[in-house]
Amino acid sequence: MNEKLRALLDLFDLLEPSYTGIPSDERLLSLGYARPIKRLPDGRICAIMPMASIDVLAIDINPWGHNDCYYYLHACDAAAKALDAWDGQHEPEGWFRHPPSGRRRRNGDPAQEYYQP
């Protein structure tokens, strides 16, 4: 990225690092995301967002939040393990809810998937 443009973005602090293509653990952590933070082969940035009773695997983090997400139970760091194993193709494993589509899976099992918006 052009150094002058980067300096201007830093000056105004309007854009989140993933938007400019420069992910920063510190910045993403300050926005409420948690490690692991991962850049997928296609350039999307993913991280975990801890919530009250679940962990959210946030996908394609951008200045306004994220474009996709999957919900995991807190138990056994399931979201972190799924993100670590996921290459960005198809869907990550083990989630129990995909809010954008309304799909849910009992115990994270794809064979027990059902729709409930």
Give the model confidence (pLDDT) of 62-96 as tens digits. 877 899 999 998 777 899 999 999 999 999 999 99
Task: Residue 66: give the domain boundaries.
Answer: 3-115
Q: What is the mean pLDDT of residues 16-37?
A: 72
Check pLDDT > 70 for residue 5: no
Check pLDDT > 50 for residue 60: yes
Number of domains in the chain: 1
Check pLDDT > 70 for residue 7: no
Helix residue spans in 13-108 (DSSP H): 17-20, 25-30, 78-85
pLDDT higher at 27 or 10: 27
Which pLDDT belongs to residue 117? 80
Provide the whole-model pTM. 0.78
Contact 31, 16 (CB under 8 A): yes
Strands laid side by side in the 45-50 sheet: 34-39, 45-50, 54-62, 65-73, 97-98, 103-105, 113-115
Q: What is the mean pLDDT of residues 27-37?
A: 86
User: Which residues lie below 8 Å from residue 19, measured CB to CB, with a gap of 6+?
Assistant: 62, 63
